[in-house]
Chains A and B, each alone.
Chain A
Amino acid sequence: MEYVWAAYSVTWIFIFAYTLVLGRRQARLLRELAALREAIGKESAG
């Protein structure tokens, strides 16, 4: 049974980690986009 647990644990850890990486990547890009837009907004206002 330990092999079954190993296979399912690895699968779920892998999927969880990949989803987490995607989420962090998305959050970082959105932050960068927002900062860039804010900088452009300030530039055109000033």
Chain B
Amino acid sequence: MNDKWDRPLAGITLILMLVAIYAIFIYAPVEKTLLEVQKIFYVHVGTAWNAFLAFFVVFVASVAYLRTREARWDRLGSASAEIGVMFTTLVLITGPIWARSSWNMWWTWEPRLTTTLILWFIYVAYLLIRATAGDERRGILAAVFGIIGFVDVPIVYLSVQWWGSHPIVLGSSGGGLPASMLTALILSVLAFTALYLYLLRKNLGIQAVEEELKQLKEELRQEYD
């Protein structure tokens, strides 16, 4: 993979992160009911949005792989799933920290939290399938799992509207956000999206080297056989 974009992308990500931190802690006001602890919301939503984006990419790559059987789609799905699991882990860590400080509890089995935990297990299973399945079946198995697993993403998103109980900060029924908080949120989402793209490129580069190594070893093996 051509790495001429790695440094500029890393720079853009860093700048966006610094701007987002400024917007979150200095530009956006302290929320009147939840006070400072509401600041967790920006990182929580930023990572959640990117987990959804990462799993959407897994879904698209899985469909494309099943249609074309081209290895580049398989690699894209694998790389995106790993980053998606990383972001979902962060959602599952920052969520309970926010819940503990705002509602005096770490965890409750309400629909949004439960479906998010299921989402995490689905994509950890996806990564385990990739790690354990044989070479010839791995791509197909992972792609099928990547498509079926994505069903949980809209369920996580809509669980609040279907079953309630999770706080809604954005949306028609949640009262919305003041402009300054919305700006901080958008900047946070943009910064984490840039981070996602950077990590995705990095991961794809690693997979390309892995593929090259595998091919080289295979050629050597055939030569000696």
Report A's interface with B, CB cutoff 8 A: 1, 3-4, 6-8, 10-11, 14-15, 18-19, 22-23, 25-26, 29-30, 32-33, 36-37, 40
Residues of A within 8 A of B195 (CB): 15
Q: Is B203 among interface residues, defined by CB-CB distance under 8 A?
A: yes
- The interface stretch among B34-42, B53-61, B65-73 is B34-42
User: Within the complex, which residue of B37, B47, B199, B206 is in contact with A3, where a contact is CB–CB below 8 Å?
Assistant: B37
A7 touches B98 (CB 8 A): yes
Q: Is B183 among interface residues, defined by CB-CB distance under 8 A?
A: no
B206 touches A29 (CB 8 A): yes
Residues of B in contact (CB 8 Å), total 29
Residues of A within 8 A of B213 (CB): 29, 32-33, 36
Report B's interface with A, CB cutoff 8 A: 36-37, 39-40, 43-44, 47, 86, 89-90, 93-94, 97-98, 100-101, 195, 199, 202-203, 205-206, 209-210, 212-213, 216-217, 220
Interface of B is mostly: helix
CB contacts between A and B, total, < 8 Å:
69
Given contacts A14-B86, A33-B216, contact A8 B209 (CB under 8 A): no
Closest CB-CB distance, A37 to chain B, in whole Å? 8
Starting from the known contacts A1-B37, A26-B209, 14 additional A-B residue pairs (CB-CB under 8 Å) come to A3-B37, A8-B40, A10-B94, A14-B86, A22-B199, A25-B206, A26-B202, A26-B205, A26-B206, A29-B213, A32-B213, A36-B213, A36-B216, A37-B216
